[in-house]
Structure 1
């Protein structure tokens, strides 16, 4: 079903109401706002109120759909895209990227009749650059009726090989765990610190109601992923596939049921620790479901010999569950 295009956010806001939708990717949930004309004032207070789980709609963040041409601070490389995903954390802070959010954004465009997966890939403008989305089949043994894959771009380890060899480039203290552990920094367009744990019991014991203490803290803060490697299995085509289990504390949000960029970071860190023989395809189990991460070697910007970089594709479900109108007067009272 294709939904009719709602009235512009500017118009509905003038009347004291704004049309929103609600969606999630592996239970990483978002409030979706159609502001394609770019006339809506998205303040930090409004985002926080909309994302409030008791006084608002509830969500881990807000995704504003807006024409890229209407985004004054859009990165230059995104100017070729029609649509921009303006993503805000639940506390109202601006974020560069959200891997689960991009898939839900694509699903939202599809429902609004602004993109048809049958016509080809969707190019999405984000603060981390252009991300392309395509519809893919649901893997065998995994639930869900609509999966999308996102080209997440380059994945880098800021600490380089030395950090991998040392086990990490940060120290992380997690409430509920008795010792401080090494964490490996991973950049997926936004910052992550990945901590490996010995077993599922440690993962369960971790208290993520409080933000883990990371030393040193990256300038923009960091998301923290706690991961337990689950080993490798053989896919139907005979290739090796890795599997990890993960919990995540997202900056500006707290613990979430899933984090797309965090899943990429977790797989990248475990793959790096595993060495050259580690698989290129990983299934990441999160509390909200399962995601698939595939690594490839691609050309870096500018090209040149030795300029290849590791790139990641993130695949998983995207679900829209509700739509409605919010009374802004009541919300902000």
Structure 2
């Protein structure tokens, strides 16, 4: 990376980010540079890098892109969206009380502020069609898909929240083989673009516990799009009541997901500044 870059270290429920301001036209980091910055021993350390860039249209105050810790590109990041919103407010580029929109690779995301001061993001409507995920081998959307994985059949839900997600419902989240099954599903031929893998335990119609094994990052303390995906799949099955709002407890904190009348999922949760720094 040429020259010195200023960055903000942030997290949303423990899902941590390095935020780079590229609105002045600086080039984005290369995959190798992303991996160096994300290295927790020799770099800054993060799950993803977020680059804030000029919006292409008047509907958004800014755009952002997501780079995984291994340098691969992601299509969506819910915790990152809240952090981008908070960063823009602090920078004076967006109103403090919400009422603006930001643009991700997955589309436009209106931003609100709730009574507790947390940012609330419109994550859009979940897409269940197999071709939208993408998921190969199935012609129509189903509540659950049987997949042969390492000699056994796993029943998974699948949905796109701007990036692909698979969900397994488990009875005991602590005992789930998150890394083993997560890695196996990520390399499964049914998911040609790999997949983020969630493991959910339903506690009540408005409460679940969740762990997520992310593409390019492994298990993270929280995954905003994964929380939305879990609620979407479980709501479709009648296991939760998304219209009433669902509290999703992840290892790093709690996210709140609610489905509106248009079928969009709104996500609320923390967006925390950790420190400012320079990378040379």
**TM superposition score normalised by structure 2:** 0.88
Change in CA separation of 1:52 and 1:278 when aligned onto 2, cut-off 3 Å: same
Q: Structure 1 CA distance, aligned partners of 2:226 and 2:104?
A: 17
Residue 123 of structure 1 corresponds to 101
Q: Is 179-188 or 148-157 further displaced after alignment?
A: 179-188
Is 1:212 the equivalent of 2:165?
Answer: no
Q: Structure 1 CA distance, aligned partners of 2:271 and 2:5?
A: 23
Shift of 1:279: 4.5
Gaps of 5+ in 2: 131-138
Shift of 1:98: 0.4
Residue 163 of structure 2 corresponds to 190
- Per-residue CA deviation, residues 87-112 of structure 1 (Å, 9 max, x unaligned), is 11111111111000000001111121
Q: How does 1:312-327 map to 2 (within 5 A)?
A: 312-327=265-280
Q: Structure 2 CA distance, aligned partners of 1:128 and 1:184?
A: 21
Shift of 1:161: 7.8
Shift of 1:218: 2.2
Residue 151 of structure 1 corresponds to 122
Change in CA separation of 1:163 and 1:259 when aligned onto 2, cut-off 3 Å: same
Residue 135 of structure 2 corresponds to none
Match of 1:247 among 208, 211, 214: 211
Question: Which structure has the larger Rg?
Answer: 1
Residue 263 of structure 1 corresponds to 227
Is 1:229 the equivalent of 2:229?
Answer: no
Change in CA separation of 1:170 and 1:105 when aligned onto 2, cut-off 3 Å: farther
Residue 255 of structure 2 corresponds to 291
Q: How does 1:50-199 map to 2 (within 5 A)?
A: 50-69=37-56, 80-118=59-97, 120-138=98-116, 146-159=117-130, 163-164=142-143, 168-171=144-147, 173=149, 180-199=153-172
Is 1:34 the equivalent of 2:21?
Answer: yes
Query: CA contact under 8 A between 2:157 and 2:167: conserved in structure 1?
Result: yes
Gaps of 5+ in 1: 1-12, 70-77, 139-145, 233-241, 299-309, 328-333
SS of residue paired to 1:285: strand
Residue 7 of structure 2 corresponds to 20
- Per-residue CA deviation, residues 61-120 of structure 1 (Å, 9 max, x unaligned), is 100111124xxxxxxxx56323111111111111111000000001111121212223x4
Query: CA contact under 8 A between 2:178 and 2:219: conserved in structure 1?
Result: no
Shift of 1:200: 3.4
SS of residue paired to 1:91: coil
SS of residue paired to 1:163: coil
- Per-residue CA deviation, residues 219-268 of structure 1 (Å, 9 max, x unaligned), is 22110001111113xxxxxxxxx111011011111110010000001111
Change in CA separation of 1:259 and 1:170 when aligned onto 2, cut-off 3 Å: farther
Query: CA contact under 8 A between 2:47 and 2:220: conserved in structure 1?
Result: yes
Change in CA separation of 1:29 and 1:209 when aligned onto 2, cut-off 3 Å: farther
For the aligned residues, what is the CA RMSD?
Answer: 2.4
SS of residue paired to 1:195: strand
Query: CA contact under 8 A between 1:170 and 1:216: conserved in structure 2?
Result: no
Shift of 1:54: 0.8
Residue 48 of structure 1 corresponds to 35
Q: Structure 2 CA distance, aligned partners of 1:173 and 1:315?
A: 34
Q: Structure 1 CA distance, aligned partners of 2:15 and 2:148?
A: 24
**TM superposition score normalised by structure 1:** 0.75
